[in-house]
Amino acid sequence: MPKGTIAEVAPYLKPADAEALARAYAFSEQAHAGQLRKDGNPYITHPLAVCEILAEWHMDAQTLMAALLHDVVEDTGITLEEIAERFGQPVANLVEGVTKLDKIEFESKAHAQAENFRKMLLAMAQDVRVILIKLADRLHNMRTLDVMRPEKRNRIAQETLDIYAPIANRLGLNNLYRELEDLAFMYLHPTRYRVLEKAVQAARGNRDETLHKIARSIEDKLKEAGLKAEVYGREKHLYSIYRKMQEKNLTFSEVFDIYGFRVIVEQPSDCYLALGALHSLYKPIPGKFKDYIAIPKANGYQSLHTTLFGPFGAPVEVQIRTQEMHRIAEAGVASHWLYKADDIALSEVQKRTHQWLQSLLDIQADSRDSVEFLEHIKVDLFPDEVYVFTPKGEIMALPRGATVVDFAYNVHTDIGNRCIAARINGEFMPLSTPLRNGDRVEIVTSDSARPNPSWIHFVVTGKARAHIRSALKKTHQYESEGLGLQLLNQALRGLGVEPSEITEAQWERLTRESGRSKNDILAEIGLGKMLGVVVALQLLARESEEPGERRQPSPMLIHGAEGVAVRLGKCCRPIPGDPIIGQIKKDQGLVIHTHDCQQVRHYREDPDKWVNVEWAPDIDKTFEVGIKVIVANKRGVLATVAATIAGEGSDIDNVDMAEQDGGAYTTLFFTVQVQNRVHLSRLMRSLRSLPEVVRIYRIKSREARHA
């Protein structure tokens, strides 16, 4: 960019900023050297045009520099680090933000999808200037869209109509909003656009005269009522005329013969006085009055709306509001964010943001300078939501803090119940990972998978929590039934009866007498609410056992992975090879303990409280066990011990240490995974052989850790 043209592009910049802008132009021009646009012009003409659009809005130098550089990372070999080094980190951050938005592909045309996309785009851009650069970029692309292939042209035009025009409207960029809509309309429906354009031009002459006449009448009437007011005529742009024709099934003459005015007064009470004055000037049309001041819209919008019979019977639509209401109405969601009820005292940054938004509303190329208050303005219009992509490109809205599991259940209950892993942006991540705006999430499922009880602690959506609890309840019921059947069969064999000898008639009699189903009875046995031997006697219709009739049944085999109905006691942490006993615990099922566990010593005398169990011979899993190692306090001893544990094929789940009095020895506490008691013995022998190890113990309970 030659220095002589700086004044033409951004005459309001300080000399130092203008010089930096010239350097950014030279850098961008060199980076894009040899590249051409579809229309055959040098590529640099595009970033320069974007820069000029932003300069019309009096954007600061950093924004203008980022506009010139916004395509160099994607289209050339330039890195963000190089941009930061040459032009500063804020400029690099803006370029990075625009680059991220460029990577998002809008794949669905559904209205809900478009709305989610708009919200996500706004939420992703921490600095509102990123969105403004993107909007200026889109405006220039729309102005030069005729060189594109028809299918791409239509896609971009529809995307503009669904996404970018509404964002411009929400930010108060009214002229940009109207131009984007009209350009999109022109490319999507060229014939309708040309017909409507000619009709508007033909009708405009008489219309302008009528507009001025009505405006003068309104001004005179308000002055007569003693009200100080500003009156503006509201001219509809082509797409808004077309949309109204479509939505309300009106002809062009019916839409174009409606005259719109906006009346701005000083106080809320003046709105109602102005309404009365206008109703005495022109008769109101019944049913066409709405009071959005007494009952504001959800986004904070306030105005009085009325429709009057104007001159020659032409409808006159009038919006009456205060200047403050006008600002909120024009800035939309952005203004709503600034005026949160719980934050009445606006911070300095918020005040500056508000001033800046108003400068955008006016879009005046005057002496306004936004440089002083644009530095790192943060905007998060949707603080409570996060927007992510499914593998098919659909956009899903979730509460902020939502995890992969929340996402899975939001897709489908079965996906949530069967999820085992997830890829976020192509990388495997834990299921508890909180999602961020723009993440692309893919769930990996397994038909044999079931919800994990630990998920309850990190999911944030009620839907996920409810489905997890429901699935766990069903799983618990199913596993309790399975355990109950094993316990019942064991009790039957103890009474000298094979389970296969029990007939359906016996079960029908028992269920009829008890009022419970067979599955419920089995589940209650598994949960310890009923004793297997009692149910066995009821099935056999014996009121009591004869002495000596009951015999010791064969032990139940434990594999260590039965599920929630059969659990290993945390008090003693049994492993294969340990002598074990099964404790029937009400509402919890069967809990496996070691024979010497202190928790079950008082149950040993009551045969109805415990079950004869043994380890299965073919167990293929690892078990958690604690060990306490006292070592000499030497440098590198922890690494030596850990390496020895790993060398014996054992994984370390946790490690803790405590220095002994005097500092000569250190106590190490390990939680390790072993296959069985033989594996543990081999591991402990290897550790005992280390010269640094003084003593070693197996820890079975929390109390033993401190002994």
For residue range 236-247, list pLDDT tens digits in order.
Answer: 788 888 888 887
Residue 170: which pLDDT band, with cuts at 50, 70 and 90?
A: low
Q: Indicate whether 471 belongs to any domain.
A: no
Catalytic residue among 39, 74, 85, 656: 74
Q: Indicate whether 577 belongs to any domain.
A: yes
What SS3 state is found at 502? coil
Q: 45 is in which domain, residue-wise?
A: 3-191
Supply the pLDDT for residue 619: 85
Rounded distance between C-alpha atoms, residue 515 and residue 615, angstroms: 36
Supply the pLDDT for residue 13: 83
532 and 594 inside one domain: yes
Token readout for 599 is 């928790």
Residue 347: which pLDDT band, with cuts at 50, 70 and 90?
A: very low
155 and 230 inside one domain: no
Tell me the per-residue pLDDT of 387-416, one tens digit each, with 9 for 90 and over. 788 888 777 878 888 999 999 998 988 999
Give the end of a domain, one of 309, 331, 353: 331
550 and 401 inside one domain: no
Q: Indicate whether 373 belongs to any domain.
A: no
Supply the pLDDT for residue 514: 78
What SS3 state is found at 206? helix
134 and 251 inside one domain: no
Q: Is the pLDDT of residue 563 over 70?
A: no
Q: Indicate whether 641 belongs to any domain.
A: yes
Tell me the per-residue pLDDT of 414-456, one tens digit each, with 9 for 90 and over. 999 999 999 998 889 999 999 987 788 999 998 888 888 789 8
Token readout for 489 is 């069969």
573 and 594 inside one domain: yes
Residue 586: which pLDDT band, with cuts at 50, 70 and 90?
A: low
Enter the DSSP assignment of 364: -
Supply the pLDDT for residue 202: 73
Q: Indicate whether 380 belongs to any domain.
A: no
Token readout for 675 is 């296959």
138 and 207 inside one domain: no
**Strand 589-594, strand 566-568: pairing:** parallel
Q: What is the CATH number of the domain that holds 431?
A: 3.10.20.30
**74 part of the active site:** yes
Decide: 461 and 409 in contact? Cβ < 8 Å: yes
Supply the pLDDT for residue 380: 29
Q: Is the pLDDT of residue 365 over 60?
A: no
Q: Of 189-198, 468-477, 518-527, where does mean pLDDT reach its minimum?
A: 468-477
Give the end of a domain, one of 331, 366, 401: 331
604 and 640 inside one domain: no
518 and 586 inside one domain: yes
Q: What is the CATH number of the domain that holds 137?
A: 1.10.3210.10
**Strand 259-265, strand 315-322: pairing:** parallel
Number of domains the chain is built from = 5
Q: Of 228-232, 240-244, 561-565, where does mean pLDDT reach its minimum?
A: 561-565
Tell me the per-residue pLDDT of 97-111, one tens digit each, with 9 for 90 and over. 787 666 655 554 554
Rounded distance between C-alpha atoms, residue 51 and residue 53, angstroms: 6
**75 part of the active site:** yes
Mean pLDDT of 459-481: 78
Measured in degrees and rounded to the nearest 5, phi and psi for residue 434 equal -70, 140
Chain centroid, CA 45 distance in Å: 38
Token readout for 562 is 């039965």
Q: Indicate whether 504 belongs to any domain.
A: yes
240 and 293 inside one domain: yes
Q: Is the pLDDT of residue 250 over 50?
A: yes
Q: What is the CATH number of the domain that holds 311?
A: 3.30.460.10
Decide: 498 and 489 in contact? Cβ < 8 Å: no
Rounded distance between C-alpha atoms, residue 266 and residue 457, angstroms: 53
Angle at alpha carbon of residue 635, lines to 629 and 639, rounded to 5°: 55
Q: Indicate whether 537 belongs to any domain.
A: yes
Residue 64: which pLDDT band, with cuts at 50, 70 and 90?
A: very high
Q: Indicate whether 344 belongs to any domain.
A: no
Q: Within 10 Å of residue 293's Cβ, how many Cβ atoms?
A: 18
Give the end of a domain, one of 582, 615, 648: 615
Residue 331: which pLDDT band, with cuts at 50, 70 and 90?
A: very low
**Strand 613-615, strand 556-558: pairing:** parallel
What radius of gyration, in Å, describes the C-alpha atoms of the chain? 38
Supply the pLDDT for residue 464: 87
Percent of the chain with pLDDT over 90: 25
610 and 690 inside one domain: no
Catalytic residue among 8, 56, 60, 75: 75
Token readout for 660 is 């002994």
Q: How far is CA 7 from CA 19, 55, 177, 359, 682, in A?
A: 11, 11, 27, 21, 82
Decide: 129 and 63 in contact? Cβ < 8 Å: yes
Mean pLDDT of 328-332: 56
What SS3 state is found at 303? coil
DSSP assignment of 306-330 equals: EEEE-GGG-EEEEEEEEHHHHHHHH
512 and 439 inside one domain: no
160 and 108 inside one domain: yes
Supply the pLDDT for residue 83: 92
**Strand 304-309, strand 427-429: pairing:** unpaired
